[in-house]
Amino acid sequence: MKQLFVLATALLLAVSCSQNKAPKTLVLYYSQTNTTKAVAEEIANALGADLEAILPVVPYDGDMGATAARCAKDAAEGKLPELKPFTVDVAAYDVIFLGYPIWMGTYAPPVAAALEAVNLDGKKVVPFCTFGSGGLDTSVKDLQAKLPNTEILPGYGVRTARIDAAKAEVDYFLKSNGFLAGEVTPLPDFSEVRPATEADAAIFDAAVGTYPMIHAAATEVASRAVPGGIEYLFTAKDLPRDPAVEIPDHFIKVYVLAEDGKEPVFTQVLR
Ligand SMILES: Cc1cc2nc3c(=O)[nH]c(=O)nc-3n(C[C@H](O)[C@H](O)[C@H](O)COP(=O)(O)O)c2cc1C
């Protein structure tokens, strides 16, 4: 009887220990110009997680053109950048927040190189990225294709121009996805999609402004109330740069935030 009791207690202890074991979390990121680094530090601080930078042996320290040229040359030669060894054992972590700048529509090559260097099978990966206009959606699709045995959880992305908003958004993201304790008010669903009116188009045009990579006209829109303003999800049709040239129909989706008393800004483009 006593033996049975000891066994039952040991079993109970084992079960409760395994349930209480907090997942080990690593924030692993690459950043060329420190924007992604700022988000990585925010996440690591909030979670008390370990932080590890992906460091190419030869840093990308050129301007955008030089970096793009180096990427194009490497891609043509089927090469990825050589990385410095990690200072942590990535295999020892259960959850990896993987951060990167978007380069040419997806995660930057140093992150592609890191994915060759570590085995993330069976782990949970939370992508986060920074970008000029967008690329969270496309990079997540690429991660899913690259890592079929890894659970890719919903990610977070922010424009370089909106990096000041990242602190509050990261806090909301971590809480609403259950990584951090705390109450958050869920956002309402977007309204039904409606044809964009002239007033909607004016908001779209103001938000996109002179951003060089977007040349499009709003066609449809949905909206919802968010704390302090309205968020819009526009569908917009690409316009030819030269009005004399016909281009095939192509539509983009653009999230726009219109905060009370402020100019509307776009927060993310889905291509
Ligand atoms: C070579 C290169 C390619 C880029 N390609 C894109 C792109 O396709 N889409 C985009 O929205 N931003 C693009 N960007 C902008 C970066 O994603 C953005 O500046 C990012 O915040 C930089 O992060 P970092 O400071 O952590 O390096 C590119 C930047 C570089 C240097």
Tell me what pLDDT residue 66 has: 95
Q: For tokens 């050589």, what's the residue?
A: 82
pLDDT in tens, 131-187: 999 999 999 999 999 999 999 999 999 999 999 999 999 999 999 999 999 999 999
Tell which atom from ligand 1 comes closest to the C-alpha of 133: 11
Instruction: Report yes or no on 49 lying in a domain.
Output: yes
Q: Do 160 and 202 have their domain in common?
A: no
Above pLDDT 70, what percent of the chain? 93
Question: What is the full DSSP assignment across 60-85?
Answer: --S-HHHHHHHHHHHHHTT----BPP
Q: Do 31 and 132 have their domain in common?
A: yes
> Over 80: is that where the pLDDT of 225 sits?
yes
User: Could you tell me the two tokens for 214?
Assistant: 């977007």
For the residues 113-128, what does the mean pLDDT come to?
Answer: 98
Distances (CA, A) of 223 to 173, 177, 190, 230, 238: 20, 23, 5, 7, 21
For the residues 57-69, what does the mean pLDDT come to?
Answer: 93
What's the CA-to-centroid distance between 142 and ligand 1, angstroms?
16
139 lines ligand 1 (CB under 6 A): no
Q: Please give the residue range of the domain that contains residue 250.
A: 194-270
Provide the mean pLDDT of the chain.
93
Tell me what pLDDT residue 21 has: 72
54: nearest Cα among 75, 82, 76, 14: 82
Tell me what pLDDT residue 19 has: 52
Instruction: Report yes or no on 239 lying in a domain.
Output: yes
pTM of the full structure: 0.92
Tell me what pLDDT residue 61 has: 84
Number of domains observed in the structure of the chain: 2
Tell which atom from ligand 1 comes closest to the C-alpha of 34: 25
DSSP-assigned beta bridge partners for residue 95: 25, 124
CATH value at residue 165: 3.40.50.360
Tell me what pLDDT residue 17 has: 44
For the residues 183-193, what does the mean pLDDT come to?
Answer: 95
For the residues 259-263, what does the mean pLDDT come to?
Answer: 96
Q: Do 28 and 158 have their domain in common?
A: yes
